[in-house]
A and B are shown apart, each in its own frame.
Chain A
C-alpha cells in the first residue's frame, strides 16, 4: 500500500511534467498528435490523483496508524465520517484535495463539448498543468501525505474537536473548489492573451467559470460562518481572521470582475482592467494559501509548523510576473479597441463605481491583514488588527456598495437623463425615506442601522420594480398570466435575473448583519437548579444538570425550558464536551431560532451542587443571514444554468485553428 500510494504521487508528477512539455511542444510545432498525447496524459493524471485520494481515504478509514498523517489527525474511536474528512484536516491531505480538484477541472476543460476544436484548449491545459506540476512537486517533496512512522503508535492523536462538525465536512471542500476554480478564468485569460483574442467566446466562458468559482467561494464562506456560529460559542459568524480575509478578498475581486465584464461585453472596453481582476483574484487565492501555510500571521485556521507558505509565495510571484508580462506584451492589442461612454450617469458609470468600491474593500481587507507585518517591519512594533478595525473600515465601503447595488438596476445603459432619473427614483426614494422615518418611530435609532435598513428598503423596491416592469411589458405583448410571464421573463434572461436574486440575497445578509451587530442583547448569569434567567421577553428555566459519555468523550449538559412572553416555546440543551484525546473542551450551544431572532445559550461553568453559569444571547435577524445565503446560491445556479434559451455560446472567432 505504501508503495502504491506514493507511486500515485510520483507517477502523477512525472505525467504532469510530460503532459506540460508535450503540449507546449505541440503548440510550438503545431502538431495535433502531441497535443492529443498531452490530453491523454491529463486523463492519466486524474487517475493518479483519484488513486492517491482513495488511498488516503482507505488509510484513514482503516486507522492505519503506521502512517504519520493518519496518526496526526485521527483516532480509532472517531466516527467514520470524521475519519474520512480528516483528509483535509492537515497540510498534505488538503493539498492533495486541492490537486485533485485542479486535475478534475483541467479534464473538464480539455474534454469539454463546448471547447471541442477550440485552439485555446492546449494553452489552457498547459497553464493549468503548470499549476498541477507545482502541486505534485509539493506533495512529492515538501508535504508528503504518505510518510511511514518508525514505530507504530497504538492510538492516533485524534481530530481537533472543532473540526468534528457537519459544517466542517463541507466548508473546506467548497472553499477549495472556489480557490481552484479561480485558476480556470486565469488560464482562460492567459490563453486568450497568448492567442491575441479576447472575444465574446472568451467573455462567455470566463464569466461562467468565474460564477462557478464565486459560488463555491460564497458557499465556503457561508458554511464557515455557520460553523463558527454554532460551534465556537461566541455567537458570531465572521471574525475577520486572516484566513477568512484570504477567502473574502478573491470573492470581492471576482464579484468586481463579474460586473465589469458586462461593460466589456457591451462596449468592448475595460479589457486590461478585467484581465487584471482575473489575475488579482487568482493571485489572491495563492496569497491566502501562503497566509494559512506560512504561519506569518496568527490565525485559528493556520496549519502549524509549516514552511510551505514560502513555496506558495514564490509560485505566486512567478505566476503574477508571468501574467503581467503576457498582459503588457498584448497591451497595444487590448488598448486598440477602447470605446467611450455616452454620459456621466449611466449603468456603465455605476459599474465603475461598483468596481471601485469592491476593489477598495478588497484593498482594505488586504491592508488590514498585512498591517501587522508592515508595522513590525517599519517600526519594530507588533500590532493586532482585529474586528474593530475591519468593521470600522469596511462598514462605510460596503454600505456604499449596497447603495450602488440599489440604484444600479434603474439606471439605463448608455445614458440616463435627469428626467429619467426622476421618473425611476422619486417613488423608491420617497418610500425608503418613509421606511427610515418609520424605523425611528418604532425605536430603531442607531444612525448606521437606520441608514443601512433604509438602503436595503431602497434596494428591495428598485429590484421589485425591475421584475414588475419586465412582467408588465411582457404581458402587454403576450397577454400571459402573471406567474407564467415572470417565469418566462426570468428564464429568457437568466444572467440578469439570477444576478438580481443574488442582490436580494446580499440584502438579506446585510439585514442579518446590521440587526445582529447593533441590537444583540447578552448576559452571563450564575443560577441554581430550578432558577430562571430572564433576558428580553425570554424566561429560561434551568431544570437539570447531568453528565453522559459518548465514546471516549464526556459531555456535561443542562436541560432548560424556554418561555417567551409567558408562553412555552421549547427546550434547549447546551453542552460542554470534554474530549478523551484533546485538552480543550468545546461548546455545543442551545439554540432556538426564528425569523425575528435567535436565542443562543452557552453552558459556561458549573459546580457540584448544580449551580451553573450560562451565557445567554439574543441575536436579532440571524436567520436572514442563512436565508440570504440560500438566495445567493439559488441566484448563482439560476444564472449559470443552461436553460432552453441559454445554450448558445458565441462562436469562437479567434485565430485559425492550428491545434486544439
Chain B
C-alpha cells in the first residue's frame, strides 16, 4: 500500500513538475546579476538586436522560452560556461553576442591591438627620425654660426687694421 502511495505521489510530482518549474521561472528575477551573466551571452534572434537578458518578454515570444530554459539550467546547477557550451553545440557560434576567444575568432579580439601596437612602434620611429633630423640640422646650424662668427671676426679685424692705417 505504502509503495502505491509513493508511486502515486511520484506520479503527481511528475505531472505537476512543469508547472512547478514554470512558477519558479515566473518568480525568478530576470534582471538579477546571476541571470545577466548567463543570458547576456546569447543574442536574441527575433530581430530586436538585443541579447536575451535585455530582450523584453512582452514584445518577444522567442525570449520567453529561452529565459525559462536558462533558469531551468541554472536551477540544475549549470554555470554560465556550461550553458554557453550547450547552446553553442546546438546553434553554433552565431548565437553568442561576441566571438569566441579561441580559434579563428581570436583574430577578432587580437587584431585591433596588434595593429595599434605596430602603428605605435612606427610612430615612435617616425618621431625619433624627426627629432634626430632636427638634432643634425641644429648641429649643422651651430657649425654655420661658428663659421660666420669667425668670418665676421676676421672682417672686423681687417676693417680695424685699415682704419688704423688711414686715421
Let me know if B134 is at the binding interface, CB within 8 A.
yes
Question: For residue A576, which residue of chain B has the nearest CB?
Answer: B58
Q: Which one of A309-317, A375-383, A494-502 is at the interface? A: A375-383
CB distance from A269 to the nearest CB of B (A): 8
Q: Are A341 and B98 in contact (CB under 8 A)?
A: no
Is A460 in the interface zone, CB < 8 Å from B? Answer: no
Within 8 A of A (CB), among B124-146: 126-128, 130-131, 133-134, 137
Interface residues of B in 84-131 (CB under 8 A from A): 92-100, 104-105, 108-109, 111-113, 115-116, 119-120, 123, 126-128, 130-131
A contacts with B, residue count (CB < 8 A): 57
Mark A332-349 against chain B: 1 for CB-CB distance below 8 A, else 0: 000000011111100001
A236 to B48, CA, bound (A): 14
Bound Cα distance from A342 to B134, whole angstroms? 6
Contacts of B93 in A (CB 8 A): 381-383
- The stretch from A43-51, A363-371, A471-479 touching chain B is A363-371
Residues of A within 8 A of B40 (CB): 388
B130 touches A341 (CB 8 A): yes
Which listed segment binds B: A74-82, A131-139, A523-531, A633-641?
A523-531
Q: Which of A371, A384, A388 has the most CB of B within 10 A?
A: A384
Say if the beta carbon of A397 comes within 8 Å of chain B: yes
Partner of A340, one of B54, B115, B137: B137
> Do the beta carbons of B105 and A383 come within 8 Å of each other?
yes
| CB atoms of B111 and A367 under 8 A apart | yes
List of A residues within 8 angstroms of B100 by Cβ: 383
Residue from A384, A526, A587, A617 within 8 A of B95 (CB atoms): A384
Contact A340 B130 (CB under 8 A): yes
The answer to whether A233 and B56 touch across the interface, beta carbons within 8 angstroms, is yes
Contact partners of A387 in chain B: CB under 8 A: 51, 97-98
Whether, in the assembled complex, A299 has its beta carbon less than 8 Å from a beta carbon of chain B, the answer is yes
Report yes or no: B92 in contact with A382, Cβ–Cβ below 8 A.
Answer: yes
Are A343 and B131 closer than 8 Å at their CB atoms?
Answer: yes
User: Are B94 and A384 touching (Cβ within 8 A)?
Assistant: yes
- Which residues of chain B are within 8 angstroms of A381 by Cβ–Cβ distance? 92-94
* Known pairs A349-B127, A392-B109; A379 contacts B29 (CB<8 A): no
Is the pair A340, B134 in contact by a Cβ cutoff of 8 Å? yes
Residue of A nearest to B99 (CB): A383
Q: Could you tell me if B59 and A378 are in contact, using CB atoms closer than 8 angstroms? A: no
A353 proximal to B (CB < 8 A): yes
Output the least CB separation between B115 and chain A (Å): 6
Chain B residues with Cβ under 8 A from A363's Cβ?
Answer: 112, 115-116
Residues of A within 8 A of B (CB): 233-234, 236, 239, 241, 298-300, 339-344, 349, 352-353, 356-357, 359-360, 363-364, 367-368, 371, 375, 378-379, 381-389, 392-393, 397, 522-526, 576, 584-587, 602, 604-605, 615-617
Residues of B at the A interface (CB closer than 8 Å) are 26-27, 29-32, 40, 43, 47-51, 54, 56-59, 92-100, 104-105, 108-109, 111-113, 115-116, 119-120, 123, 126-128, 130-131, 133-134, 137
- Sample (15) of A-B pairs whose CB atoms are under 8 Å apart: A234-B54, A298-B49, A339-B130, A341-B130, A342-B131, A356-B123, A360-B119, A378-B104, A382-B93, A384-B96, A387-B51, A389-B99, A393-B112, A586-B59, A604-B56
The 9 tightest CB contacts between A and B, nearest first, are A364-B112, A386-B97, A389-B98, A388-B98, A341-B130, A340-B134, A360-B116, A522-B31, A524-B31
